[in-house]
Amino acid sequence: MTGSRLKNICISVAAAVLALVMLTACSGANLTENDPAQEDMFSGDPNISRQTKAVIRVGLFRGEDYYYWNDELKSMGAELLHNRLITSYQARNYESMEDTWAALVSSVGLSNRGRLEFVEDAFYTLDRMNEDEIGQMLDRDDLDLMLTFGTASGKIMTGNADRIPYDFMVFGATNTVNTGIVKSETERYSDNAFAQVDTEETRRTMQSAYDLFHFRNVGVVYEDNEDAYVYSGIDVLDEMAETYGFTVHRVFVDESEGPEDDERFYSELEAAYASLLPKIDTLIITTSTIEDDKIPELLDDIIDAGIITISQESEEECRMGALMFMMVASADEDGMFMAKTIGDYCQGTPISELPMVYVSQPKLYLNYETIKRTGVRIPMRAYMIADTIYTEEDMR
C-alpha cells in the first residue's frame, strides 16, 4: 500500500469518526438523558441548571378552560416554530387548548441545549382535579418544566414550590405580585419559579376609563372572596376611588359551577345588575364566566338607562354590546414572550434569572351603537385612537 493511499484512508476514517461524534452530539446522546453517571454528577451540583439536559419534558397546568390561554399557547407554538426551537408543529387556529397541546406533542424539539418534548399525559385542568390528583401532578419526577396558566393554578405552584421537583412558569395570571405568585418584579419565592409580571395592567384599564368618562358611581359584581377581589381589580378601583372621590357599589354573586348551574348564575347576575341600576352611572363587567351571547340580554336595561358599560374581559363582549373594552394584554404578544422566555431557558439561562416583566401595547375598542343608545358623549380623541369601533353590522 502506497503512503499516499494510506494517508487518504486515514483521513477518511478520521472524517467518519468526526461525523459520528457530531451526530451523537446533535442527538443529545452525550448529555444527561442517556448517561446516568453524568446525571448523578449534575444532580448534586446546585450550580447546574435543571434544563442542561438532552430533553426538556414540558407539561401544562391551567386553572380552567379559558379561550385566551389557548390563544397564548397557539401564539407560543407558532413563535417556537418560527424561531426553530421546534419543527413539525402545524400552526393552525385550534379551537381548544387540548387540540393545541396535541399539536405541540406531535412536534419535534430542535434546541441545541435542550430538546423540547411536550408530554401527552401532562395536561392538567385545576377545576377538574381532586386533591389526590393535584398531589400526583405536583410530585411528578418525569417532567422538567410546567407551563402554568391562571392565578389559581399559579398560586398552587408557588404554595407547593418546595415539593415540586421541576421548574414552572406562570402565564395569564392577574397581577402576579399582588396575588402572591412572586415577591416582586425581580424576586421569586423559590428558585424553580417564573411568572410573567405586569403590576399595572388593571390600573391602566381603570385609569383609561376614568379619563374618558369621569364616572361618579361605579357598579361591580363579583364573588365575595379575597381572590375575586384581586382578580376583578376591585382593589385598584377602591384605591382610585380614594384618589378621585367616586363611589364603588358592589353586589356579590357566586360564579357558575358549570352548565347545570348556569340558570341560577344568570338569574342572580341579572338581579344584581337590576339592583345597581338606580345607583350607578357606570358598570364595570368583572365576572369572567359570562358567555358572550348573554351580553345583549344582560345589558339591555343598563344601556337603555344611559349607563356606561365597560368590559374587563374581551373585545368580544364589546362587540356584543359593552360600550368599551381596553385591551392591556395581547394573547399574540404574550405568546411571543412565552416563546422567547422558553428559548432563553433552553439555551441555559437559569429560570431564576429570566426577566419576568412584560407589558403589551394597549388597544381601545368601542361600540358605536351602544354609545348612541347610551347617549354618552365620547371625546373625539377616543375615536381617533380606538383600534376598533364596532357598528351595527359587526353586532349582527
Angle at 107 between CA 351 and CA 99, to 5 degrees: 95
Among 3-17, 26-40, 67-81, 343-357, the range scoring the smallest mean pLDDT is: 26-40
β-pairing, 108-109 vs 86-87, is: antiparallel
pLDDT tens digits, one per residue of 271-310: 999 999 999 999 999 866 688 888 999 999 999 999 999 9
Amino acid at 103: A
Placement of cell 444532580 in the chain = 43
pLDDT tens digits for range 125-173:
999 999 999 999 999 999 999 999 998 999 999 999 999 999 999 998 8
CA neighbours closer than 13 Å in the CB half-sphere of residue 13: 6
Q: Check pLDDT > 80 for residue 201.
A: no
Which DSSP symbol is given to 281? S
Q: Name the fold adopted by 201-328+362-395.
A: Rossmann fold (3.40.50)
- The residues, ordered by sequence, that sit 6+ positions from 205 with a Cβ below 8 Å of its Cβ are 233, 312, 326, 328
pLDDT bin (cut points 50, 70, 90) of residue 249 is: very high
* Total-model pTM: 0.66
Q: What are the φ and ψ backbone dihedral angles of 362, each rounded to 5 degrees?
A: -70, 150
Tens digits of per-residue pLDDT, 93-114? 999 999 999 999 999 887 555 6
Q: With beta carbons less than 8 A apart as the criterion, state whether 88 and 108 touch.
A: yes
Position 236 confidence tier, pLDDT thresholds 50, 70, 90: confident
Radius of gyration of the chain from its Cα atoms, rounded to whole angstroms: 26
Interval 313-334: pLDDT, tens: 788 889 999 999 887 667 888 9
Fold matches, 55-198+331-353 and 201-328+362-395: yes
For residues 241-249, average pLDDT = 94
Ranges of each domain in the chain: 55-198+331-353, 201-328+362-395
- In percent, the amount of the chain with pLDDT more than 70 equals 83
Residue 377 CB neighbours (<10 A):
8
Residues 6+ apart with CB under 8 A from 203: 236, 240
Q: Is a pLDDT exceeding 90 seen at residue 120?
A: yes
User: Minimal CA–CA distance to 389: which of 361, 374, 369?
Assistant: 369
Q: Which CATH superfamily hosts domain 55-198+331-353?
A: Response regulator (3.40.50.2300)
**pLDDT of the residue at 138:** 97
231: left (phi over 0), alpha (psi -120 to 50) or beta: alpha
Which neighbouring-strand residues pair with 247?
217
Name the phi and psi angles at 103, rounded to 5.
Answer: -70, -40
Question: What 8-state DSSP symbol labels residue 260?
Answer: G
